[in-house]
Structure 1
Amino acid sequence: MLFVLSQSFYEFWTAAAGNTPLEWVAVVTGFACVWLAARESLWNFPVAIFSCALYIVVYFRQALYSDSLLQIMFIGLSVYGWYEWLYGGRSKTELPVSRTRRWEWLLCALFIPAFTFGFGYYLDNYTQDTVPYWDSFTTAGSLGAQFLMMRKRLENWWLWIIVDIVYVPILWHKQLYPTSVLYAVYLGLAAYGFWEWRRALHTAESSSLVSA
């Protein structure tokens, strides 16, 4: 039993070490951008843009076409989110953490399943994607989560947790071992981000009550 576990561990590290340096740099910068986002740091956006640019290539090489396309969308959303965090508050001040509005939940509830089945059908019939609908779901869920994040809605972390849970086995299946482990770490970071943002929200709400 011990021999089998040792052999499996050795095979994992051998495969992981064989992954491209590009993926390793993307992993490190990907971790950094999520950590910075959890800390409400504006630096998460430039780091995210750099990491996404690397993952466009990484995912495309592994036939994860939906996720490769997602990175391009993330770059655009990161640019917008950067501006929104800086000037999206009242009188173009820094945007505070807030709760998700009903219309935003409704938009996500309509968009995520529609994109999952629509784009999943395309991937299933016209590409070599081996997990088309799961690939499409993680893309849709990530876009929904990023949409809420760039508006600094607390509940964006809930969506990230769901997406990260699905990503881990998909990326492992695609032999993107470092990235799969990264998404497992993202689960912890998402929980930490939710805790940090909720504390910031409660502090802001308490300050507002005192001022009133």
Structure 2
Amino acid sequence: MTPWSEAGFQLFGQHVLFTDLVGNVFALATVWLAKRRTIWAWPVQLAGSVLLFAASMTAGLGGNAMKQVLFAVLATYGWWRWARGMRGGTELQVRPATPRERTVLIGVLVVGTVLVAWAFDHFDASWAPLPDAYIFVGSAVATFGQSRALVDFWLVWVAVDLVGVPLAIQGGLWVTAAVYGVFFVMVIAGFRDWLARYRQRSLTQEEAVSP
């Protein structure tokens, strides 16, 4: 990696990468912006993905680095989807996933994790292929759900965070590990907010059609 991607500082005897630090600040901002349902969540996520890609490559986490590439693609897609959904200044309409959508998302998570873990192991792309693959695929599923304005995407992030914290610590990405912990709290808050707004909108619509 280039010198700038390896630059950092010492904190409690650990080398903290600037790319890891700043990239995770952008990642936290993305969650906060997503909770507020603002389209700015996507360009901020795009910028954070570039920085975290460099940090992951430096730490030897190939799966995490590939996740950032996928994030960049999904952020572009989400940006486009939300721009369409908010055309004319309308508020983003969030909703729970249908049973069919949930089945598909869970299926993609399970099958995708197995296939990606095999690829990581076969090509020696990660020292922890299975959890790295789970984070990679789970993050993709969550981001896709976010792009579709599905309330369920917050719950997928919870499942990813539970594996992401110990893996980041083992990889020496201490800032990422700490941010995953903060993510967990913010994700729970985001889920409650989106679900409440969906229920409020549904109630308003029911009252509007009542005789």
Do they superpose with TM above 0.5?
yes
* Partner residue of 2:188 out of 191, 202, 210: 191
- Equivalent residue runs for 1:109-124 within 5 Å: 109-124=106-121
1:27 is aligned to 2:24:
yes
Q: In the aligned structure 1, how far is the partner of 2:119 from the partner of 2:107?
A: 19
* Residue deviations 1:6-28 (CA, integer Å, cap 9, x gap): xxxxx96231xx22211111121
Instruction: State the secondary structure of the residue aligned to 2:12.
Output: helix
- Equivalent residue runs for 1:79-158 within 5 Å: 79-88=76-85, 94-127=91-124, 129-158=126-155
1:205 is aligned to 2:165:
no
Question: Judging changes above 3 Å, is the alpha-carbon distance between structure 1 residues 138 and 117 closer, same or farther for their aligned structure 2 residues?
Answer: same
Give the conservation status (yes or no) of the 8 Å contact 1:145–1:159: yes
Q: In the aligned structure 2, how far is the partner of 1:206 from the partner of 1:91?
A: 24
Q: In the aligned structure 1, how far is the partner of 2:121 from the partner of 2:11?
A: 29
* Residue deviations 1:11-53 (CA, integer Å, cap 9, x gap): 96231xx222111111211111111111212111111000011
Give the conservation status (yes or no) of the 8 Å contact 1:86–1:94: no
Instruction: State the secondary structure of the residue aligned to 1:19.
Output: strand
1:178 is aligned to 2:202:
no
Q: Which residue of 2 aligns with 1:44?
A: 41
Specify the code of the residue in structure 1 equivalent to 2:206.
L
Instruction: Report the alpha carbon displacement of residue 91 of structure 1 after superposing the two structures with TM.
Output: 9.8
Give the conservation status (yes or no) of the 8 Å contact 1:45–1:78: yes
Structure 1: segments with no counterpart, 5+ residues: 1-10
Specify the code of the residue in structure 1 equivalent to 2:145.
L
Instruction: Report the alpha carbon displacement of residue 90 of structure 1 after superposing the two structures with TM.
Output: 9.7
Specify the code of the residue in structure 1 equivalent to 2:183.
Y
Compare 188-197 and 103-112 and name the one that shifted more: 103-112
TM, length-normalised to structure 1: 0.88
Specify the code of the residue in structure 1 equivalent to 2:65.
S
Structure 2: segments with no counterpart, 5+ residues: 1-9
Report sequence identity in percent. Answer: 25
Compare 89-98 and 166-175 and name the one that shifted more: 89-98
Q: In the aligned structure 2, how far is the partner of 1:210 from the partner of 1:46?
A: 37
Instruction: State the secondary structure of the residue aligned to 2:184.
Output: helix
Q: In the aligned structure 2, how far is the partner of 1:182 from the partner of 1:92?
A: 32
Compare 168-177 and 66-75 and name the one that shifted more: 66-75
Give the conservation status (yes or no) of the 8 Å contact 1:86–1:95: no
Could you say which structure has the higher helix fraction? 1
* Residue deviations 1:149-188 (CA, integer Å, cap 9, x gap): 1111111111100101110000000010011000011000
- Equivalent residue runs for 1:51-90 within 5 Å: 51-88=48-85
Q: Which residue of 1 aligns with 2:3?
A: none
Instruction: Report the alpha carbon displacement of residue 88 of structure 1 after superposing the two structures with TM.
Output: 3.1
TM, length-normalised to structure 2: 0.88
Question: Judging changes above 3 Å, is the alpha-carbon distance between structure 1 residues 86 and 163 closer, same or farther for their aligned structure 2 residues?
Answer: same
Specify the code of the residue in structure 1 equivalent to 2:12.
W
Instruction: Report the alpha carbon displacement of residue 147 of structure 1 after superposing the two structures with TM.
Output: 1.3
Compare 163-172 and 70-79 and name the one that shifted more: 70-79
RMSD, matched Cα = 2.0
